[in-house]
Amino acid sequence: MRYISKPNRVSPFLPFCKPSIERLDNLATPPNRQGGTCKSGLWCWLYQGSHLEVIDCQNGNCISSWKWRKKDQPATIVGVDEFSSHNSNMLVMAISTATTGFLHVDSGLICLYNPVVSRVVKMIELPFTPTFISTMTTDGGPTATPVNFGNAIRLFFGAVAIGANDGSVYILDMAIDDQSIACDEDIPRCTQVIEAGSAVDYAVLRSTARKYRTHLCLRLGAKFQEKGKFFYYYSDFKQHRSFTKKEAKVTCLKYIPQINCIVVGLKFGGIQFYNLKNYSLMHSVNIFLDDQICGIPVTHFAYQEPEDDPKPFCYLWAATGASLNDSANCSSSAIIKMYQLKFEHREKLPQNFSYSGFESCWPRFTHILSGNCFAPSNSDDDNSDNRLISCFALERPIRSIDGDNVDSTLVAFIWESYGTSDASPVCYIGIFNINVWYHMHLPSYLNLSCVDKNVACAFFAFTNMTEVAHSAIADNILVANIDGRKVTHYQPSCGIASEQTLWPWSLSFDTLFVMDTGLIKAESLGVQFEALATLTADGPPALKNPLQTFQAFGMAGILPAGIDTKAADAAEQRLAILTTCLEEGSISFISSCIRTWANIDYSNYGCSLRLLLEWSWLLVNKYKKSLDELCEPIFNGRALKIDDSTYKTLCKYSGRFRYLAVIFRGLIEYSDNTTEQGVAELESKLQATIFINEWLDVLLWFMRQSILPEAAEEIATSDTSLICFPTRANFAEYYEARRQLLYGEQGELNKYGTGLMIDGIISLLGSSVDKIWGSEAGGYSVYPPPSLHALLNLYFMESPDVKIKHSIIYYALLDLGDKYDSLKDVASEFSASFNLGRGLSKLLRGFWLLDRHYFNPAVKTLQNPMIDVEVADWQNERILRTLLQHHRHRLCLQYYRSVQLRIKNKRLVLEILIANGLITEAFSLQKSSDQKIFYYILEECNKYGQLAKISEIINTEEDIATFTKWLEKGSSPSKAELLVDFYVQRGRYPEALAAMERLTSIALDTPGYDMDRVRAINTAINGIKQAIPDIHQKLLSIKPSLTSTEKIAKSCTPLSVD
């Protein structure tokens, strides 16, 4: 049985709004309703007799309605086409107003209709009866495109091609540049017909036409009209046949800009090509040698181009058969024939190719459209009535190194067929891929050799749309539309396309069917996604006997590489199906397997959660090994450009690891019967999978920013366009920054020396950083890392929150932005891509500024109200100590004031206050019973030269005793001097004299001390002694007995002191 796909989903019948249907049904004209759609398929139109309805395809509501108002002059709409100009979507209508009977008069109208205002904005009278209309261009003038028009059409502003009932073709100037005078249906304009090739000045004619409010109309093929007959010349332009007007009317025409021609289809089956450069007949197809199409009207044309054809060949499809309104009088056959057009030259234009120098035209492929899609063209077995509904190229915009192009390699055919024994119609969509047709060696018709072992045709794919035809059995399908811009081709997950995935049956597309009274939309997935959708619908029971699904996947060409489709047993087939579902993103099916197998025992069929666990972990290891091989050139330091295929493959691996993490989470969720050790194993495997996925996501982001591939410093030095991080200068800068924090100005070790802010962040990851940033990796176990590779390897480490790793990356990107102007905003982009948040980003930027010694901007940034994340205690303390260490006391106090309620380190607070001279505030924080804190205050006051201030504020006996005791400790002259001063201020003269003697002794033992200062203090003390009362002096004269040590010291006093 040959394969014909079906739509994945068919929408319910959407009826048009009731007023629109009633207006059309109440017409007195015969029911020959016709329709069309705009290119995007967003709106459509229906016309019958002299009435037009424009419908919104999203909801079936009426957008606009129009009716011919002159009852004394009968009119019939014979054609409608889209005419979009100046961002306005309009329609151009061809209307026949010809009279019948004895006084027959040929006449017609062209109307430019604006659906937005439901009004004809331009009406032009014709001296002939139109039968078909097609828009050529909606701009104009000498500078308009295309530039290869002849002199006449290049002067037109908006041009439409019109077919007449006598076989002639007219090109009408719509004159959209002239908006000065209205010319609606009440005031139509006249037409001035010019014979193509006339020796006239077209510029003068158009200027005159504008002056007298007429429109120029260029007539092609006038010489083929003679004595009321139409003469059809063969391709040699020597022989000809004659036809009556009725036989020769134009039934179809199409403007093809690539070959600069208008192709005309005639009622008797003739096909003519008119060159628009010189307005001559370029070619006529000799239909009389082909009995299949001779005498059958031409109904549709479609242009097609192969991709990368070395020769200047292009192709034209011509369809012959019955139209909807005259099917009773025409043959029931519908035939499509592809003609090969050969030219001398092909030129690349901005959006397409241009062909010139026509040489030949030959039929290359023929197919009969019937109820049997695979019927050969010479088959006589089919007796059904067939009608081609629509035929068009699926033009898709593509980008390449040569610029923007339009892909015209696909053509779609939609037809319906009525059997003789069954009145129910069948409907099909056929999509022809000319590239694959080339690969199949250009067969001339569909035969058994074109159908491979998968019972499908490689270049012609068919979709059965009979469900659509049966959804509205009372309606005719007027027109069908597929928006080529939304057609997508299946992309294999492995990055390597199999033969089947290049066929047109791999296309996903949506089809809009416009019927007499409503709309139907159908969604087609392509054979690959159709097979996956079928498996998802069947659910886990499909894996009991996986052969049918396995064969469907094999036919679609989506099985994993290396699978032997003939020798695989049931177990291998299940694993292949599961792998395909994972790689194609059908994770919902695997999730349903987890839920089902957790509750229902499928172990007899080889299906269990253990199977999924082992299979998933096997894929994790397999994919990780492949990743290592793919990423080797990214991190080898050579900065070699990575091709797009490698990048796309890495993107697909990212998705796979994400799906694998979903699987492990599902297994954990349904692990009720699993031991604690088993759950721990699952969680460990989940964590490893998440780490790989996080690493890969950041790697891809670095590649998008052109930070990777990595460049060694030696290579980056010679090529300034390359990014190198870190450099030797980075190591030197951070080494100096750490040295300043650890050592004081005199080189002494700082008692409270801290590391950089980045060091604190990295310490949250634990000691395992040494393994990836240590000496073995060429680093120093601290920031900066030895390489970008080592930087990204942070994601393989355990951490309580992935934002810790993101923070380190963000910090490194700030360094990169500081060095490279092109990466100035890269840190902000990273923050947005990985959801760091504005608050955390601001905080990290403040840390970076602080580590770089930009102290004022750092504090300003750290105090930004946008920082909505909680700053850890260690971070606040490190900020304050860093500012203290660099003697930024005022900034330190400023930051402390903003966070003082969160600082729990009392000693740090005291140091900040003392460093800023706020001794009273610092002393107020001391608890009366906490002698250690008091001693600490004294030490810090001594450090910052604030002891004199504290001597002024203490007042309790306990504090005085502690203070004097502390001053008496050690042999510091400054302390001894302060003690003397303290006793004097407090009026404790005996203690002052004793302290003076101690000061004298310490000063003598201290080299370099200023003895003049000691003498001055001694003189002051003696003066005070003389001024005090006698009783006090008597007390002062009583000296305590000296110890032996003091005696020795006294006896050793040098004479120089005196």
pLDDT tens digit string along 180-232?
Answer: 656 677 788 999 999 988 888 888 999 999 888 899 999 998 888 888 889 99
- Cα–Cα distance, 151 to 196 (Å, whole number): 11
Environment class of 226 (CB within 10 Å of its CB; exposed 0-12, middle 13-18, buried 19+): exposed
What pLDDT score was predicted for residue 327?
A: 46
- Which of residues 124 and 777 earns the better pLDDT score? 124
Strands 334-348 and 353-369: antiparallel
Close Cβ partners of 228 (under 8 Å, ≥ 6 residues apart)? 244, 245
Cis peptide before 709 (omega within 30 of 0): yes
Contact 245, 106 (CB under 8 A): no
Q: Picking from 134-148, 624-638, 982-996, which range would have the lowest pLDDT averaged per residue?
A: 134-148
Of the CA atoms within 13 Å of residue 320, those in its CB half-sphere come to 26
Residue-wise pLDDT tens digits, 523-550:
999 999 999 999 999 999 999 999 999 9
- 8, 58, 472, 524, 655 from 11: Cα distances, Å: 10, 12, 12, 12, 31
- Please tell me the total number of residues recorded for the chain in this structure: 1058
Range with the poorest average pLDDT among 450-459, 473-482, 812-821 = 450-459
As a whole number, mean pLDDT of residues 472-492 equals 89
pLDDT greater at residue 130 or residue 736: 130
Q: Which of 416, 405, 611 is nearest to 513 (CA)?
A: 416
- Using pLDDT thresholds of 50, 70 and 90, give the confidence band for residue 60: very high
644-662: average pLDDT: 94
Q: Report the pLDDT value the prediction gives residue 383, as an integer from 0 to 100.
A: 67
Higher model confidence: residue 2 or residue 519?
A: 519
The helix or strand, by DSSP H or E, that contains position 173, with its residue range, turns out to be: strand 169-173
Better-scored residue on pLDDT, 404 or 182: 404
User: 1056 falls in which pLDDT band (50, 70, 90)?
Assistant: very low
Q: Which of 1-5, 81-85, 542-546, 629-633 has the lowest mean pLDDT?
A: 1-5
Quick: pLDDT tens for 265-301: 999 999 999 999 999 999 999 877 666 667 889 999 9
- For 757-763, the CB contacts below 8 A with 24+ separation are 757/847, 757/848, 757/850, 757/851, 757/875, 757/878, 757/879, 757/882, 758/783, 758/808, 758/811, 758/847, 758/848, 758/851, 759/783, 760/874, 760/875, 760/878, 761/804, 761/807, 761/808, 761/811, 761/847, 762/808
- The per-residue pLDDT for 271 is 94
Q: Is the pLDDT reported for residue 876 higher than 90?
A: yes
- Map residue 65 onto helix, strand or coil: strand
| Per-residue confidence band for 751, with pLDDT thresholds at 50, 70 and 90 | low
Summary mean pLDDT of the chain: 87
More confident residue, 472 or 50: 50
Q: Residues 6 or more apart from 321 whose CB is under 8 A from it?
A: 296, 297, 299, 330, 331, 333, 334, 335, 369, 386, 387, 388
Pairing of strands 298-304, 34-37: unpaired
> Rounded to whole angstroms, what are the CA distances from 523 to 143, 442, 490?
42, 30, 15
Q: Which position has the higher pLDDT, 930 or 97?
A: 97
The label of the residue with tokens 């450069």 reads 277
pLDDT at 1057: 44
What's the Rg (C-alpha) of the chain?
46
Distance, in Å, from the CA atom of 493 to the CA atom of 651, rounded to the nearest integer, reads 10
pLDDT value at residue 85: 73
Q: What's the pLDDT at 1041? A: 45
Kindly tell me if the per-residue pLDDT of 895 is higher than 90: yes
Query: Nearest CA to 877 among 911, 848, 826, 921?
Result: 911
- Among 135-139, 674-678, 742-746, 904-908, the least confident range: 742-746
Q: Are 371 and 383 in contact (CB under 8 A)?
A: no
427: exposed, middle or buried (Cβ count in 10 Å: 0-12, 13-18, 19+): buried
Lowest mean pLDDT among 307-316, 884-893, 959-968, 1027-1036: 1027-1036
515 vs 1013: CA distance, rounded Å: 114
Look at the pTM and tell me if it is higher than 0.85.
no
Q: What's the token pair of residue 776?
A: 């073995």
233 - beta bridge partners?
A: 240
Q: Rounded CA gap, 691 and 658, in Å?
A: 10
Q: Are strands 34-37 and 14-15 parallel, antiparallel or unpaired?
A: unpaired
Q: Dihedral through CA 286, CA 287, CA 291, CA 293, nearest 10? A: 160
CA-to-CA distance for 77 and 787, rounded, in angstroms? Answer: 73
What average pLDDT does this structure show over 166-183?
84
What is the average pLDDT across 388-405?
A: 82
Cα(953)–Cα(941) distance, integer angstroms: 13
Q: Are residues 322 and 335 in contact, defined by beta-carbon separation less than 8 angstroms?
A: no
Dump pLDDT digits (tens) for 90-102.
Answer: 999 999 997 765 4
Nearest C-alpha neighbor of 512 from the set 484, 474, 473: 484
Q: Is the pLDDT of residue 1039 over 60?
A: no
Residue 6: band (very low, low, confident or very high) from pLDDT cuts 50, 70, 90: very high
CA–CA gap between residue 639 and residue 340 (Å, rounded): 48
Query: Is the separation of the CB atoms in 271 and 282 below 8 Å?
Result: no
pLDDT band at 932 (very low <50, low <70, confident <90, very high): confident
Closest by CA to 355, choosing from 367, 365, 340, 366, is 340
pLDDT at residue 485, as a whole number: 87
Buried/exposed code over 392-413 (b: 16+ C-beta within 10 A; e: otherwise):
bbbbbeeeeeeeebebbbbbbb
State residue 1033's pLDDT score. 62
In which band, very low, low, confident or very high, does the pLDDT at 460 lie, cut at 50, 70 and 90?
A: very high
Q: Is the pLDDT of residue 807 over 70?
A: yes
Residues 516, 471: Cα–Cα separation, whole Å: 13
Q: Which of 607, 614, 587 is nearest to 546 (CA)?
A: 607
Note the pLDDT tens digit of each residue in 359-380: 999 999 999 998 888 876 555 5
Helices (H), 228-343: 245-248
Residue 589, φ and ψ in degrees, nearest 5: -65, -45
Task: Give the pLDDT band of residue 381 (cuts 50, 70, 90).
Answer: low
List, as own/partner pairs, every contact residues 898-906 make where C-beta atoms lie below 8 angstroms and the sequence separation is at least 24, other chains included: 898/863, 899/871, 902/871, 902/873, 902/876, 903/873, 903/876, 903/877, 904/873, 905/873, 905/877, 906/933
Which residues, listed in sequence order, are joined to residue 405 by a DSSP beta bridge?
398
Give percent of the chain with pLDDT exceeding 70. 90
Say how many C-beta atoms besides its own lie within 10 A of residue 1042's C-beta.
11
Q: What is the pLDDT of residues 546-605, one digit of tens each?
A: 999 999 999 898 999 888 888 899 999 999 999 999 999 999 999 999 999 999 988 899
Tell me how far apart the alpha carbons of residues 271 and 298 are, in angstroms, rounded to a whole number.
8
Question: 671 vs 360, which has greater pLDDT?
Answer: 360
For residue 782, give the 3-state DSSP assignment.
coil
Q: What is the pLDDT of residue 29?
A: 64
Taking every pair of Cα atoms in the chain, the longest distance, rounded to a whole number of angstroms, is: 159
Q: How far is CA 459 from CA 438, 441, 890, in A?
A: 9, 11, 79
User: Mean per-residue pLDDT for 8-34?
Assistant: 87
What are all long-range contacts of 453-457, with beta carbons under 8 Å and residues at least 24 apart?
454/3, 454/500, 454/555, 455/1, 455/2, 455/3, 456/2, 456/3, 456/503, 456/505, 456/527, 456/555, 457/374
